[in-house]
Amino acid sequence: MSGRKSIVVGMSTCNIAAGAEEVHDFLAERVAAGLDADLLVTGCFGMCFAEPQVRIVDADGASRLYANVNRMRIEKIVAEDVLGGKPVDKWLVKLDEGEGQKLWGKQKRIVLANCGAIDPEKIDDYLARDGYKALEKVLRANDRMAVIQEITASGLRGRGGAGFSTGMKWKFAYGYENPKKYVVCNADEGDPGAFMDRTTLESDPHAVLEGMAIGAFATGANEAYIYCRAEYPLAIKRLYIAIEQATARGFLGEKIFGSPFSFEIHVKEGAGAFVCGEETALMTSIEGRRGMPRVRPPFPAEAGLFGKPTTINNVETWANVPWIIRNGAAAFAAMGTEKSKGTKVFALAGKIKNGGLVEVPMGITLDEIIHEVGGGTGTKRQVKAVQMGGPSGGCVPRSLFGTKIDYDEVTKTGAIMGSGGMVVMDETTCMVDVARYFLNFTQLESCGKCTFCRIGTTRMLEILTRICDGKGVPEDIPALEDLAQQIKTTSLCGLGQTAPNPVLTTLRYFRDEYESHIFDKKCRAGKCRSLCSFRITEACTGCMVCAKNCPLDCISGEKKQLHVIDQAKCIRCGVCRDLCKFDAVVVG
């Protein structure tokens, strides 16, 4: 502590997108002009729905967090709080009461513990929070198998999607004798609606580096790659800074902590191909070739990167490791369910009030995450379903929101845990259109190596497009089911094996919507333009919001009078329904 106040600005990609740079620049000018305060930066607090955020820290350590800060607000915060000593109560985030308590009360932060708490570009901040003590602990003990046993006992499973035991994976790599081994961090986060890895790398890169170093020591590796998509420039920048600082301090490089263990990390910038999230395709890309999956066995633990034994884990998995070593396997295993231990980070997106990142203990229900932590839709509309596991996951209906966050329980619904993306949908979401959207994504991202993945997804997309256009026929549903099974069973990698999941889960839980599209030529959700129309009911108050925002000026009516939609002009975009606060616009 410097003995004076600090002003900490969230400077993650999401904060910057919301205007944090303008806030930071204003504060920098004030400090340069003599404002008696330290100006600091940090990563993402997790509350992406209320960015930018600024924390004021008093000389005695007491702090307050402000949300939705803009240029006007920061001037008032500086004047009244920083200079006047009187917090601006109406903009404060109160984490211990009301909505703040609901948002934070059920969270348990391990991976995100430092996010929003440290400057990710200052290694001293990480060291002040026990950084690199776990690495020092394992190197002092110099017992590789003991580390593997500790990780195994913790019950940590891979957070990238498959959920394989991390300890078992490390043990396999340990068992293959080879003078050259690698560890790899999979940071190729390509799921729509997922940003867990990006935020972790931007906000706490040293936790990932430390976890990788521990894993390398345990498995006998001495070199590593972090495969991060180039669309994450801030994450990559901070990774390079962190690697340089850690090397300069002796936490990476030669003879770490005076031990025989030497370890170096490279960053490989990926081109943004979704298939490169698959481990064999990822390694092929690092090797300088087109990222395409290859046949297993041999598995990476035996012959991975450049043909050498390799251990691959994703960002969240690596970031859990230092905490487990510092606190012990039992502490980690005490959280969660019988087969799913610890915590899980989720990215809440879509029709959700508190969109952002949350970290909750395994075993919590979907309903608790979506309605309590996430706050539901934040509108009068109900949540209809949640898409879990990204484009290769599945749609879980509201009736199954009692499902616990557990690898096996989630799999029973037809979805997968995946890396942790949750896209929440409300009653205005057409599930056939959703299936089409996700299948369009995977069809475009297929590398084309497997025939059924390449051509089968194309045929399925054609069928779904036809149904959404009102041209579906009764034979379409069994054709979709047949193609889905063929693709799942004949594809080489996880992309093809899971690509049909959104179609299969929507057919399983929302089959009536498919039938309504095909037989009744109706889209009840009002999304498929060829199959719906809108009308304004007596609930209309004549506020004129719909008329003012209609892109084709096809809504007429006087103020405080019932409005009318000209059906001949209407393009069924749904803007009027989305903006109406009185639910007066309905699907006709």
Residues 46-67: pLDDT tens digits? 999 999 999 999 999 999 999 9
The predicted pLDDT at position 162 comes to 78
The arithmetic mean of pLDDT across residues 562-571, rounded, is 95
Q: 388 pLDDT band (50/70/90 cuts)?
A: very high
Average confidence score pLDDT of the chain: 95
The predicted pLDDT at position 574 comes to 92
Nearest alpha-carbon partner for 491 in 421, 442, 436 = 442
Q: 113 pLDDT band (50/70/90 cuts)?
A: very high
> What is the C-alpha to C-alpha distance for residues 562 and 118, in angstroms, rounded to an integer?
54
Q: 445 pLDDT band (50/70/90 cuts)?
A: very high
Residue of higher predicted confidence among 392 and 493: 493
Residue matched to tokens 């090797």: 287
Tokens linked to 256: 């770490």
Q: How far is CA 96 from the centre of its chain?
A: 25
The predicted pLDDT at position 192 comes to 85
Q: Are 10 and 116 in contact (CB under 8 A)?
A: yes
Residue of higher predicted confidence among 192 and 178: 178
Tens-place pLDDT, residues 323-338: 999 999 999 999 999 9
169 half-sphere exposure, CB direction, 13 A CA radius: 26
Beta pairing partners, 565: 555
> What is the C-alpha to C-alpha distance for residues 171 and 164, in angstroms, rounded to an integer?
12
Q: How far is CA 446 from the centre of its chain?
A: 21
Report the Cα–Cα distance between both ends of the chain, in Å, rounded. Answer: 63
The predicted pLDDT at position 419 comes to 80
The arithmetic mean of pLDDT across residues 412-435, rounded, is 93
Is 168 a residue whose pLDDT tops 80?
yes
Comparing 78-82, 119-123, 391-395, 509-513, the range with the smallest average pLDDT is 391-395
Cite the DSSP H helix spans in 50-192: 71-77, 98-105, 123-128, 133-141, 144-154, 166-175
Is 3 a residue whose pLDDT tops 80?
no
The arithmetic mean of pLDDT across residues 22-34, rounded, is 97
In 155-253, at which residue ranges do the beta strands (DSSP E only) sit?
A: 182-187, 223-229
Is 220 a residue whose pLDDT tops 80?
yes
Q: Lay out the sheet containing 310-314: strands in order across.
A: 264-270, 223-229, 182-187, 310-314
The arithmetic mean of pLDDT across residues 94-122, rounded, is 92
The predicted pLDDT at position 4 comes to 87
Tens-place pLDDT, residues 428-441: 999 999 999 999 99
The predicted pLDDT at position 524 comes to 94
The arithmetic mean of pLDDT across residues 335-359, rounded, is 96
Q: 546 pLDDT band (50/70/90 cuts)?
A: very high
> Between β-strands 585-587 and 383-388, what pairing exists: parallel, antiparallel or unpaired?
unpaired
> Between β-strands 534-536 and 555-556, what pairing exists: parallel, antiparallel or unpaired?
unpaired
Longest Cα pair distance anywhere in the chain, in angstroms?
81
Q: 464 pLDDT band (50/70/90 cuts)?
A: very high
The amino acid sitting at 294 is R
Q: Note every long-range contact of 494-498, with CB atoms under 8 Å and residues 24 or more positions apart, other chains counting.
A: 494/161, 494/162, 494/278, 494/392, 495/274, 495/275, 495/278, 495/293, 495/392, 495/442, 495/445, 495/446, 495/447, 495/453, 496/446, 496/450, 496/452, 496/453, 496/457, 498/389, 498/392, 498/393, 498/416
Beta pairing partners, 263: 253
The predicted pLDDT at position 2 comes to 57
Tokens linked to 556: 């007429």
The predicted pLDDT at position 392 comes to 82
The predicted pLDDT at position 102 comes to 87
Residue matched to tokens 């001037």: 75
User: Which helix (H) or strand (E) is 504 found in, with range?
Assistant: helix 501-509
Tens-place pLDDT, residues 352-371: 999 999 999 999 999 999 99
